[in-house]
Amino acid sequence: MAPPIFPCIWMNPEQFSGQEAALKYKEAFGDVKTLSDNGMVVMVEILGKQLMFLNGGPMFTPNPSISFFVVLTSKESVDQAWKVLRENGKVLMPLDKYEWSEYYGWVQDALGVSWQLSYGKLEEVGQTLSPTLMFTGAGAGQAREALTLYASIFQPSEVVGILPYGPGEEDKEGLVKHAMIRLNHYVLMFMDSSHSHGFGFDEGISLVVACDTQEEIDQYWEALTINGGQESQCGWLKDRFGVSWQIVPRVLFEMMNHPDTQRRQRVVDAFMPMKKFNIEVLEKAFEAQ
């Protein structure tokens, strides 16, 4: 079975913790379930899609380079989410009718997380909540290259569609206005924007790949760091476009949610010096007496 992909939002618990974020988004969307919570990592489902909050500290902050496109099936649910998310936040595109949606708005909430709320039919996207990558500044024009790379790495994959800017539109002709792919049955969306935004990809929002085997970890790690990617620590990397990924063994989540604090600490001590995760070393630390 293909490893699941899901987003991770970096939180500063001194300002807003993952636990508080889960409550806020439950107020916004209603359908939010907490799957696990070990204090540092809070795993939730929002509208049936998995999302992870990492209480990491003040080092990184989410920004609109990765936003979440949310399909809601009633205007009332859009209004409720909009009301909650815009409180102490920032409207990026007002709630209105657009060529791609009868009722749509883009808002950055008080946590810095950006949401594209759209009233529509779920079958048009096939996913309630989809990370949307916006390639800005010097990276504008890389959306097509990135989705082609990701489609070659993750299988099964499907490029659903690529819509370029045409002559006289609001950005450079040929740049990606909107694109959508499915990787391991998970929808990602892509945009280019050559306008000045003052932000780009960073660790504030990353994409997690939960692997079952060391072979999977090795495969994705090598494919995403090749040709200009950067290795980081504790399973983190940046690909050549600057997008942050976490290539993580699925068993690590089970270890870190174990009730035995000594076991959990041994695992933490084992993975802190690591760049790419080594499952065998983690399992030995977990089972040590």
**pLDDT tens-digit profile of 54-89?**
999 999 999 999 999 999 999 999 999 999 999 999
pLDDT at 231: 97
Architecture of domain 212-287 in CATH?
A: Roll (3.10)
Query: Do 212-287 and 5-193 have the same topology in CATH?
Result: yes
Q: pTM for this structure?
A: 0.96
* pLDDT at 164 (0 to 100): 96
pLDDT digits 0-9 by tens, 13-47: 999 999 999 999 999 999 999 999 999 999 999 99
What's the pLDDT band for 109 if we cut at 50, 70, 90?
A: very high
Per-residue model confidence (pLDDT) at position 1 = 58
Domain ranges of the chain: 5-193, 212-287
DSSP string across the chain: -PPPEEEEEEE-TTT--HHHHHHHHHHHHS-EEEEEE-SSEEEEEETTEEEEEEE--SS----TTEEEEEEESSHHHHHHHHHHHHTTSEEEEEEEEETTEEEEEEEE-TTS-EEEEEES-GGGTS-SEEEEEEEEGGGTT-HHHHHHHHHHHSSSEEEEEEEE--TTSSS-TTSEEEEEEEETTEEEEEEEE-S--S----TTEEEEEEESSHHHHHHHHHHHHTTT-EE-STTEEE-TTS-EEEEEEHHHHHHHT-S-HHHHHHHHHHHTT-SS--HHHHHHHHH--
Q: What CA–CA distance (Å, rounded) separates 215 from 232?
A: 19
Percentage of the chain modeled with pLDDT above 90: 91
Q: Which band of pLDDT confidence, cut at 50, 70 and 90, is reported for residue 123? A: confident
Average pLDDT, the chain: 95
Identify the CATH homologous superfamily for domain 5-193.
2,3-Dihydroxybiphenyl 1,2-Dioxygenase, domain 1 (3.10.180.10)
pLDDT of residue 19: 97
pLDDT one-digit tens code per residue, 258-288: 999 999 999 999 999 999 999 999 999 999 8
